[in-house]
Amino acid sequence: MASRTRFLGIVSSQTFCLILATTDSNCQLTQPEDEKLNLTDLGCKIENSISLNITALDYEEIKAVTGKKAVVKARLLIINGDTLVPEEIVTRGQTTLYYRRKSYSFDLQSEASFSHGEKTRAFRKFYVLSLSMDRNYANNRLAFEMMESAGIFHLFYTFGELRINGQSEGICMILERPDDWAMKKKESPVLIRRGYNNNIDKLKSDKNADRETIKEYRTNFNQIYRSLYKYRGEELYKAISTWLETEEYMKWLAFNFFVRNGDYTDEVNFYIDPDSKKFGIIPWDYDDIFSVGPHEGYSESRKITGNKLVFSTEDELDKKIVSDPYMYKMYLVQFEKVMNELTPDMLKSIFEKTYAELYPYYSNEEIISLSKYDRFKNLNLSGLRSDMITLYDQLVISRSVFLKTIAELNK
C-alpha cells in the first residue's frame, strides 16, 4: 500500500519523519487513547437563519454573475425570526465572487441578533461568508477558535443558513466586521489592511479622527518597514516595538506556520490600540490553511527560511524576523507560547466542537447538497470525520516536534 503523506512543516532531517501524516509502516503516527478525537452528534441545532426575498430575476442574476459585485434588493429580510429593514446588501469578496454561492455584506437600519453557543451578539453591519473555498466549511472555524485561545483573535463568528426565496443557499458564517470591532470596541482611529510589497492596501478611519491623526498613523505604519533597513538585532526589535505590538505579531506569524496558512501577507488588518498607541492586528481569511506550501511557493520560501519555523516570507517584516538572529530568537519565544497555549486538550476541544456545530448542516440534505457548487464538492459526514481526525493528529504531533525543536535551539 502506497504511503499517503501531507506536509506539516520544516525542521531538521532528523525530525522530518515525525511530522509527516502517513500510512507508511516505517513512519506511523500514533496518538494516546485519551488524545483521540470523539466526533459525535452533541445535539447542536442550526443556530442562525437569514432569509431573503428578492425578485426571481434578481435571484437568477446573483447566481449567474461571476467576478463582479452586485447589489441585492431585498423585498423582505428575516433574521432569526425578526423582520428587519436593510440599508444595503451587496455581494463581497474576490475569488469567491466566481462561485455560485455568494458572500454578502449586510448594512441594516437596526441590529440583528446572532448566537454562538452561549454567546449572543447584535450587529447592524456584518458579513455573511459563503465558505465556498473553505474545505469542509471547517477551516475558518478551527483557525478562529485556535487564535482566540492564543489571544490573537477577537471577532464574533458563528455558523448559519442563508435562504433566498425559500430556497437554501447553504451554510454560511456570520462574521463581525474588523473595522467595527476596531473602531467601536477598541476606539481605534484607523484600520489598515496591509497589501503586498509593504504597501497600505486600504485605510479606514473613524469619523472623529482628524486628518493629522490619520497622517500620523499612516507614517507610523511605514516607519515599521523603514526601520528594517536602518537597524538590526535588539535595536531593530525595540524600534519596531515603538509602533507595533511585536509579540502579538510574532504569535500570529507562529500560528500561521503551525496551521500552514498558505495566503496571509495581505490577510491581516492593523488597528491602533488607544492606550499603547501601537498597531495591533486583526487576522483575516483562514480558508487556505493546511497547505502544502505558502502562496509564493515552497521553493521560493525555503530560499529565505531554510529550516526555520516560518511558513511564508512574502512580507519584508517576516523576512527580517527570519534572517535577523535576535529577531528570530524573540520570535521563538512567542512560538513556544502559542504551542503551550494550544495544548492537545485545547485542540481536541476545538475540533470536537467544530464537528458538533457542523453536524446539523451536514445532516440536512438540502444544505449539504449545495457543496456541489463549491471548491470542495460533494461533502459528507464521513469525509468531514476523516479529514478532521487526520488534521488533528498532524497538529498534535507537529506541536510536540516544534516544542522539542525550540528546546534544542535554546540549549
Calculate the alpha carbon distances from 270 to 199, 211, 213, 239 in Å.
12, 18, 15, 17
Q: HSE-up of 354 (CA within 13 Å, CB side)?
A: 27
Helices (H) and strands (E) in the chain, counts: 12, 12
Amino acid at 117: G
DSSP state of 389: H
Place of cell 454573475: 65
The residue ranges of DSSP E strands in 308-397, in sequence order, are none
Mention every residue, 6+ apart, whose C-beta is less than 8 A from residue 133: 95, 96, 99, 287, 288, 374, 375
Question: What is the dihedral sign for C-alpha 17, 23, 28, 31?
Answer: positive
DSSP state of 176: -
How many residues in the chain?
A: 411
* pLDDT tens sequence for the chain (411 residues): 333 333 343 343 333 333 433 333 343 445 555 678 999 999 999 999 999 999 999 999 998 888 889 999 999 999 999 999 999 999 998 888 999 999 999 999 999 999 999 999 999 999 999 999 999 999 999 999 999 999 999 999 999 999 999 999 999 999 999 999 999 999 999 999 998 888 899 999 999 999 999 999 999 999 999 999 999 999 999 999 999 999 999 999 999 999 999 877 778 999 999 899 999 999 999 998 998 877 666 676 676 777 889 888 889 999 999 999 999 999 999 999 999 999 999 999 999 999 999 999 999 999 999 999 999 999 999 999 999 999 999 999 999 999 999 999 887
Calculate the alpha carbon distances from 301 to 7, 97, 220, 306, 322 in Å.
15, 29, 28, 8, 11
